[in-house]
Amino acid sequence: MKKKSKPAIKKTAANKRKRTGTRVNTPLLVLLLSGILVLLVLILLNIPKNNGEGNVPISVAPDRYSMQNSIDPESDSRARNNRQNDRMQDASASQTSEETSENVQHRNTALLSATSRVIIGRIAVVIDDAGNDAVSLAPFLLFKGKLTVAVLPLLPNSKLNAENAFKAKKEVILHQPMQPIGENKTGPGMIGIDASREQIQQLLRENLKTVPHASGLNNHMGSLATQNDLVMDAVFGYCKQENMYFLDSRTTAATLGKAYAEKYNISFAERKIFLDSVPGKENIADSLNKGIEHAKRDGSVVVIGHVQNPEVIAVLNEQYDRLVASGIEFVTVRELIEYNRSRIQ
């Protein structure tokens, strides 16, 4: 009996082993199935819904023009308009940036040209006899370069001419009438050789009231008065007191201007060329060129023309660009005096 029971025991052990193996694999199977199920659920949740037209839209991240493809037509139209406006603004900003860059480049080029240009001479152009009318001076005030306008005193348009010249950024000086040799046709406000020092200086004060903004003075005629010690001492004493310069028109070679400028140590300049002493454009152009030659040789020159002669401004306008391009600088008399002083120092 004992021998017959042994196979049964072996069968039972084998069955036990099979049952035990089934129990070990079941949890793994359940875990695997659960993972597959979770994966399917996630896939189903991420599938986009059909938009009703048989097309499945592609989900994109929102940009600055639109939030989603599913916006209504009105919103879509607004978005398109916004996109167009933004593009136009970007294009405008780009164009403005390019224009600004171009302007800066042009300005830098102009500045470089101005600073690199070699100055070979300086010329101060003085226009005498302003004050008689309001018309003659007008074309001179449109001149591109610097000018010094000498205004006669006590005339109907003296103050108007001085104001207009100042507004046009031209230098203003008093064109002081002084007694000439021979016939006296200087006009009102003349300084004569018989006047006292006090009378001369009072006359200068009254004359300057009708020529505002004057930074200096030059003599109108004066071939006799500028040879007179009493007159020149009174005039230069007044210039020293009022910090004004004196431009000697040199209507006579015997003038005492330079001697009294040294005595009072005041700013001083002398006329070298009269532009229109011989009328005609060709003669004026020749005189201007002679002045330029002086400027090249001496560093600076003062030339004088007259407001009543329209050919003077015609020649200046025609020659200006050529002269500037060649290295000639147009300056005021005050600037020329300061330049000459700096050269001496």
Helix H, strand E, coil C: the string for the chain is: CCCCCHHHHHHHHHHHHHHHHHHHHHHHHHHHHHHHHHHHHHHHHHCCCCCCCCCCCCCCCCCCCCCCCCCCHHHHHHHHHHHHHHHHHHHHHHHHHHHHHHHHHHHHHHHHHHHHCCCCEEEEEEEEEECCCCCCCHHHHCCCCCCEEEECCCCCCHHHHHHHHHHCCCEEEEEEEECCCCCCCCCCCCECCCCCHHHHHHHHHHHHHCCCCEEEEEEEECCCHHHCHHHHHHHHHHHHHHCCEEEECCCCCCCCHHHHHHHHCCCEEECCEECCCCCCHHHHHHHHHHHHHHHHHHCEEEEEEECCCHHHHHHHHHHHHHHHHHCEEEECHHHHHHHHHHHHC
Among 259, 254, 253, 200, smallest CA distance to 230 is for 200
CATH of the domain at 168: 3.20.20.370
As given in the structure block, the two tokens for residue 153 are 């005193």
Number of domains observed in the structure of the chain: 1
Whether residue 10 is contained in a domain is answered as no
Band of residue 30 on the pLDDT scale cut at 50, 70, 90: low
Whether residue 9 is contained in a domain is answered as no
Whether residue 71 is contained in a domain is answered as no
Whether residue 81 is contained in a domain is answered as no
Q: d(Cα 250, Cα 256) in Å, to the nearest integer?
A: 9
Whether residue 155 is contained in a domain is answered as yes
pLDDT at residue 183, rounded to an integer: 84
Whether residue 257 is contained in a domain is answered as yes
Annotate 130-153 with b (16+ C-beta within 10 A) or e (fewer).
bbbeeebbeebbebebbbbbbbbb
pLDDT at residue 125, rounded to an integer: 98
Contact (Cβ atoms closer than 8 angstroms) between residue 118 and residue 325: no
Asked whether the predicted pLDDT for residue 79 surpasses 80, the reply is no
**17 vs 293, which has greater pLDDT?**
293
pLDDT at residue 172, rounded to an integer: 98
Q: Is the dihedral of CA 195, 200, 206, 208 positive or negative?
A: positive
Domain span including residue 238: 121-344
Q: d(Cα 212, Cα 190) in Å, to the nearest integer?
A: 18
Whether residue 167 is contained in a domain is answered as yes
pTM beyond 0.85, yes or no: no
Asked whether the predicted pLDDT for residue 336 surpasses 60, the reply is yes
Q: d(Cα 196, Cα 334) in Å, to the nearest integer?
A: 29
Per-residue pLDDT, averaged over 196-219, amounts to: 98
Band of residue 93 on the pLDDT scale cut at 50, 70, 90: low
Whether residue 265 is contained in a domain is answered as yes
Q: d(Cα 48, Cα 268) in Å, to the nearest integer?
A: 95
Among 237, 263, 261, smallest CA distance to 340 is for 261
Asked whether the predicted pLDDT for residue 209 surpasses 80, the reply is yes
What does the angle CA 168 – CA 174 – CA 179 come to, to the nearest 5 degrees? 150
Q: Which of 34-38, 70-74, 178-182, 234-238 has the lowest mean pLDDT?
A: 70-74
